[in-house]
Amino acid sequence: MKFCRYNDNKLGVVEGENVHDVSYALEAIPPARWPFPRGDQFVVHLEAIVKAVKSKGLGSPAGRVADVILRNPVPNAPKIVAAPVNYQLHIKESIADTGISMGRAPLAIGDAGLFLKSPTSLIGPDETINVRFPDRRTDHELELGVIIGKTCSDVSRNDALDYVAGYAIALDMTVRGKEDRSFRKSIDGYSVLGPWLVTADEIPNPDALDLEIKVNGQTKQKSNTKNLIYDIRKLVEWGSQWYTLYPGDIIMTGTPEGVSPVQPGDVLECSIERIGSMTIRVGAHRSAVASRA
């Protein structure tokens, strides 16, 4: 199933062009008091929610996908674990373009390690990526997003996909520069997740998905997750060796070649096979200032 969060925090199931309102299924989430349980509670209770929807049915559509406001489907993601340098041709372009590498030789992913993006940077497709530092290069990085479904630690490669709740399209927006990745990639709005969470049963093989982003109608990145250096199982295994992974944690799996700068007014059209597509706009931060003031 394709679950979206739309309009005023309604839970939807997307079928074709339509959204069905299944907010009733959120009753599967028990009330909680401080300190709230860790994890995105929609994802924690996803199995019960799916069961409730299958039992009650979708009913008639609430509207068309194109007419609702799509939000980030995992609003309480505890963390975003992200893979750098995970497509060979992106490493090649980074070496060739000092605007990406800043003159540093890229490490192999096993040496570079994973990095963390702040979950407060997350937005959905119908919000706007506001360029915070217009004097700095800001790039789109289209990535497959993996949403962890169950708390896990030290997961083996063979079991890794058992801990995945689903998949979504992710954008790892990036200010180029010499600072730490987490600093440059955690700006408000610089992590986009959408247009919905596709449950893992719909994508038995996440390592063979076409992905593409067009900027203002022009294709910039076009690849397939088969080109990942560390595949999805490896990323779950490795990430869970370093951190306990919680329901709603997002793994951004790395970006293929074709990253390029964006500016206010740009329109990004992103698509990943078996997930769908989303369009997001680039805007300007309301009080954008020179970054080195």
Which residues sit at the interface with Mn ion, rule CB under 5 A?
A: 141, 172, 255
Supply the minimum distance, in Å, between the C-beta of residue 254 and Mn ion: 6
154-159: Cβ within 8 A, 24+ apart: 154/240, 154/241, 155/236, 155/237, 155/240, 155/245, 156/237, 157/233, 157/234, 157/237, 158/233
How near is the Cβ of 253 to Mn ion at its closest, in Å? 8
Residue 279 beta carbon to Mn ion: minimum distance, rounded to whole angstroms: 20
- Complex with Mn ion: residue 42 or 87, whichever CB lies closer: 87
Considering the complex, state which of residue 121 and residue 255 has its C-beta at the smaller distance from Mn ion: 255
132 or 140, CB closer to Mn ion? Answer: 140
State the residue number with the nearest CB to Mn ion. Answer: 172
For Mn ion, the closer CB: 78 or 254? 254
Sign of CA dihedral 82, 86, 90, 92: positive
CA distance 209 to 282: 26
- Is the distance from CB of 252 to CB of 172 less than 8 angstroms? yes
Q: Which is nearer to Mn ion, 24 or 183 (CB)?
A: 183
Q: Report the C-alpha gap between 84 and 158 in whole angstroms.
A: 23
Shortest Å, Cβ 184 to Mn ion: 11
Q: Nearest distance from residue 228's CB to Mn ion, in Å?
A: 12
Which CB, 41 or 255, lies closer to Mn ion?
Answer: 255
Q: In a 10 Å sphere around its CB, with 0-12 CB exposed, 13-18 middle and 19+ buried, how is residue 96 labelled?
A: exposed
CB of 76 to Mn ion, least distance (A): 22
Q: Detail the DSSP E strand segments found in 96-229.
A: 115-117, 122-123, 128-131, 138-139, 142-148, 164-172, 174-175, 191-199, 210-215, 218-224
Closest to Mn ion by CB, 72 or 255: 255
Least gap, CB of 125 to Mn ion (angstroms):
18
The closest alpha carbon to 64, from 104, 121, 124, 4, belongs to 4
Cα 215 from Cα 112, distance rounded (Å): 29
